[in-house]
Amino acid sequence: MRIAPPSARDPRKTQYDAGKLAKRLRRQVGEAIADFKMISAGDRVMVCLSGGKDSYGLLEILLSLQAKAPIDFELIAVNLDQKQPGFPDTVLPDYLRARGVPFHIETQDTYSIVKRVVPEGKTMCALCSRLRRGVLYRVASELGATRIALGHHRDDILATFFLNLFYAGKLKAMPPKLVSDDGKHVVIRPLAYVAEADLAAFAEIKKFPIIPCTLCGSQSNLQRQVVGEMLREWQRRHPGRIESIARALTDARPSHLLDHQLFDFANLAATGTPSEEGDTAFDPPVMDLSSVSAPSLRFAED
């Protein structure tokens, strides 16, 4: 017997679930904006719109928050047309006009540069990203934008963390807010707390006109894709692990790592008073061992 999908069985439940998802996304983005002071009154926020699910979601959520925010700020969507073969250059303008969103389309043939410079089979992402970043910084200055909003989500941040951990030997991820390479712009990632799966579901509900990338989207076995699959497998086999790792990035303990430039281990000395940086200082109070008798602790000597 064939079972009808949930939408066919109960449209009201589908609408309710969609409403819950939208509310969760607004809350998570609002929390990220507040936690990192991403947007202030009077800001002109340039939302970088690639045509993928993440940037569409970012724009939609920011539009929703803008309508209810206690402060006034502007949004302008910007797309960089990199002249990729077959790029449907009317899709984004038509969508943005229909949504009533101010926008700017910047045309720069970075595609040809990347294809010419990067050897066949090598990763194109680094050069493509660098070229795109330079163009967007220039456009931000021309448009008078005070914030550049990117669509990187929680899973992008975690993937970057593990890429740096595995391949570069660094504890480094994507920051939710940073000053651009040229020192002239503030870049923000309002989706820092948002799961990719939620953005995919949101895109399906909203029926965004997705435009696939023919550069990075055409390459298989990229390190980022491999790490992304690792994270998805963890989530399938160990629900909650991804959330735990994401929380860990918000609760760093320099005194319990090995970076002597970040924490002054050299001048650390006993003072005779309880330390805020001791072995158990950051441990949760799992149990009180004060009443445990000595014999019960002899397992360490067995």
> pTM to 2 decimals?
0.83
Dihedral sign from CA coordinates of 53, 55, 57, 59: negative
- Tens-binned pLDDT, residue by residue, of the chain (302 aa): 344 454 455 666 677 788 999 999 999 999 999 999 999 999 999 999 999 999 999 999 999 999 999 999 999 999 988 878 878 889 999 999 999 999 999 988 777 777 777 667 666 666 677 778 888 999 999 999 999 999 999 999 999 999 999 999 999 999 999 998 888 999 999 999 999 999 999 999 999 999 986 555 444 447 888 999 999 999 999 999 999 999 999 999 999 999 999 999 999 988 888 776 676 655 665 555 454 444 433 333 33
CB 78 within 8 A of CB 102: no
Rg (alpha carbons) of the chain, rounded to whole number: 24
Q: CA 223, CA 167: separation in Å to the nearest integer?
A: 9
Q: CA 43, CA 41: separation in Å to the nearest integer?
A: 6
**Residue 15: what are its φ and ψ, rounded to 5°?**
-65, -40
Structure tokens at 122: 């090598």
Domains of the chain: 10-248 (3.40.50.620)
Residue 33: Cβ within 10 Å count: 22
pLDDT at residue 109, as a whole number: 78
Q: CA 216, CA 111: separation in Å to the nearest integer?
A: 11
- Report the Cα–Cα distance between both ends of the chain, in Å, rounded: 60
| Interval 210-226: pLDDT, tens | 998 655 544 444 788 89
Structure tokens at 169: 């030997």
